[in-house]
Structure 1
Amino acid sequence: MRQLSQIYLLLLLVSGLNGCTTIGYYSQAIDGHMSLMLAGEPVDELISSNTVSPELQRKLLTVRRARLFAVDTLELPAGGAFTDYVELDRPWVVVNLIAVPEFSLEPHRWCYPVLGCQAYRGYFSLKDAQREQAAFREDGYDTFIGGVSAYSTLGWFDDPVHSGFTRLSEERMVALMFHELAHRVIYIDDDTAFNESFATAVELEGLRLWLTLEGNSAAFQRALERLQQRDQTVALVQKATNELAQLYRQQENLPLQQLRQRKSDILTTLLRSYNQLSEHWNQPGPLGRSPAALNNANLALFQQYNQYVTGFRQLLRDNGDNFPAFYRSVAKLSEKPADERIRALNTLSERFEEYL
């Protein structure tokens, strides 16, 4: 599975919320995030010390340069983000749970104070996520749990860089930084696909400029390969979701066994096509390396990060690759009703031609 990001605002007040489950969820979120914050050590001090390995020192130097690039070139509001470093005892910082009804492509949404509703729920504990996953499965939902390399608190806190970043290759680490900082620019309640697609567009365009500046042709070639893999996967997933959407609209008129069989056939075809493609890739693809199965939750998660990316990239191009002007255009778009936003982004996508 590709490295994911998660918007995860933890300025939430437990008091006044009803239900033990709700209080327990917010308690683990606040405890997990505060533990992360308290464990941070200043990046500058670690770079100048002899307490870290040469490899980590090199990665932290890249973090510092990339953060300045994000501010100076991409004009992203970094604040105090990524100025502290935390060593984790696991490859992910949190895990995300996605749950989608058996005959739907619309994920379940969890709603939070201040933040609004999101199409995933993050946990610092894998066991907690698995407990909620089991409850959804009992109700017949398709589910997926994925490890998350980073999340954003939307500027409410100075998010640290951690070993979930530094375990990645340098170009993927830098791309992830740009993605998370982009969430500080625009965030819409109840529209995960808009938020994540925008951040992914900033990630891709920012990485292009960064690698050009760095003169790192090998890393740029790897990034181009990942982009090609993403585009090929988008085409496969779009075909499958169109077929599934058409099938699910017939669920009142088809026998349950027939619905399930036709759903299985569509997903099996998608899985076979993806695995045939990815067999020849040098890097794991967006849906992972040779996944054993796919379901509605996998597709919903993938679309959240990719659905409108080309539309946002075209909007940046329409603004002359001027990032502040692009952000202003995105802000204006975010104020429109959801159906108008979708139409505008789809129209922009139709004009997009890959140029990397």
Structure 2
Amino acid sequence: MIKKILLALLGVCIVLGIWFHELIGYGWMQAKGQFRILWNTRPVEEVLADASFPDSLKRKIELIQEIKRYSVDSLGINPSNNYTTFYDQHGQPILWVVVASEKYRLAAREWRFPIIGTFAYKGFFEKDRADQELNALKQENYDTRLNEVSAWSTLGFFRDPILSSMLKRSEGQLAELIIHELTHGTLFVKDNLEYNENLADFVGEYGALKFLTQKYGANSPEALGYLDAKQYGEKYDEHILRGTQKLDSLYATYNLQTPNRVRESKKWQLIDRIVETVDTLKTRPPVGKPNPKKRRFTQQNLPNNAYFVAYKTYRQQQNRFRREFEEKFNSNFNQYLTYLKKTYPSL
């Protein structure tokens, strides 16, 4: 009887292995990449005591500890063991993310993973594997984009390390990044990537400005410089999101009778106009005349739908969070975050 049960279990395992072989292979590859990094980290205390490690970078590591304490004490972020270790990338990228969208609809290709749910991107610790995925998606007629990633959150499953590439960031950018990732570890809703990323962006930017204001003062160069850069970024975000609405409207006019050459021509003409008109955007810095924003693409290297769909994933709900925070909670962040934790089930 026991032998029959064991044989039945073995049969089930074989069937599941065949059925989910791709997912199992991907999970194994990601686990290897993650453990390779974790195995080669050093405790922060050891790095700070290392006489050969540059003092300028030690100050950035100490700053991360300060940002983390502020996040827990003043913002209500959950305490964790994240950023208590350090990983030296030796100047090399270590993680790439593949994003894909339908060619004539701003609809992201999605991947489903056990426990954590559905994602509109797929990460790789091996560049060759990322390129293979990218080429396969192109063969399936998707618009694609490959991005290098400077940080990620394991949602509390592992101890997220400080990456050496983080230390190149300015104080404001570093605070925004750390608070963004710590927010994922505090509140992450399954199967709602757009909500998670928009929330982490909102909290990261709000927290970074508050941190700089508390540390240096509201009128300090550090706080005003970060606020200036943030305003520039918001103008660009608004412009790109308006562009996504125009693209949605254009694609809605397509039908089965629309020739592909017409679809392609209209699509790229509109994207070209979106990119070209970035130069007309102006924002006013704290002191001085308005400055034009600079385009991030050239007419020879235009972004495709994968770029625009990523903006919808990360930035589309910013105004929703801001209004809810200001109008319903009178800009009391601790109350707002407490409400979000109670309202939305988190992993």
- Alpha-carbon displacement from aligned partner over 1:98-124 (angstroms, at most 9, x marks no partner): 010101111000000001100000111
- More divergent stretch after superposition (213-222 vs 141-150): 213-222
Residues 98 and 144, structure 1, Cα contact 8 Å, conserved in 2: yes
Instruction: Say whether residues 1:238 and 2:238 are aligned partners.
Output: no
Instruction: Say whether residues 1:199 and 2:171 are aligned partners.
Output: no
Task: Give, as a single letter, the amino acid of the residue that structure 1 aligns with 2:267.
Answer: K
Pick aligned residue for 2:307 from 286, 298, 311: 298
Which ranges of structure 1 fall in alignment gaps of 5 or more residues?
1-14, 336-356
Corresponding residue of 1:4: none
SS of 1:151's equivalent in the other structure is: coil
The TM-score, its normalising length taken from structure 2, stands at 0.84
- Alpha-carbon displacement from aligned partner over 1:112-147 (angstroms, at most 9, x marks no partner): 000110000011112211111011111211110111
Instruction: Say whether residues 1:45 and 2:43 are aligned partners.
Output: no
Corresponding residue of 2:186: 185
Corresponding residue of 1:140: 141
CA gap of 1:187–1:62, structure 2 versus 1, over 3 A, is: same
Q: 1:328: Cα distance to partner?
A: 3.2
Task: Give, as a single letter, the amino acid of the residue that structure 2 aligns with 1:138.
Answer: Q
Could you tell me how far apart the structure 2 residues matched to 1:190 and 1:67 are?
27
Task: Give, as a single letter, the amino acid of the residue that structure 1 aligns with 2:238.
Answer: A
Corresponding residue of 1:259: 263
Larger CA Rg, structure 1 vs 2: 2
The TM-score, its normalising length taken from structure 1, stands at 0.82
Query: How many correspondences in the alignment?
Result: 321
Could you tell me how far apart the structure 1 residues matched to 2:163 and 2:176 are?
14
Corresponding residue of 1:153: 154
Could you tell me how far apart the structure 2 residues matched to 1:221 and 1:291 are?
35
- Alpha-carbon displacement from aligned partner over 1:47-84 (angstroms, at most 9, x marks no partner): 23313111111111111111111111112113100011
SS of 1:297's equivalent in the other structure is: helix
Residues 82 and 159, structure 1, Cα contact 8 Å, conserved in 2: yes
Which ranges of structure 2 fall in alignment gaps of 5 or more residues?
1-15, 283-288
Instruction: Say whether residues 1:68 and 2:69 are aligned partners.
Output: yes
Could you tell me how far apart the structure 2 residues matched to 1:87 and 1:189 are?
31
- More divergent stretch after superposition (238-247 vs 88-97): 88-97
Instruction: Say whether residues 1:81 and 2:82 are aligned partners.
Output: yes
CA gap of 1:220–1:76, structure 2 versus 1, over 3 A, is: same
CA gap of 1:196–1:260, structure 2 versus 1, over 3 A, is: same
Residues 226 and 285, structure 1, Cα contact 8 Å, conserved in 2: no
CA gap of 1:159–1:54, structure 2 versus 1, over 3 A, is: same
Q: 1:274: Cα distance to partner?
A: 2.2
Corresponding residue of 1:324: 334
Q: Percent identity?
A: 24
Could you tell me how far apart the structure 2 residues matched to 1:31 and 1:237 are?
37
Q: 1:206: Cα distance to partner?
A: 0.4
Could you tell me how far apart the structure 2 residues matched to 1:238 and 1:301 are?
10
Corresponding residue of 2:106: 105
Could you tell me how far apart the structure 2 residues matched to 1:286 and 1:195 are?
28
RMSD: 2.7
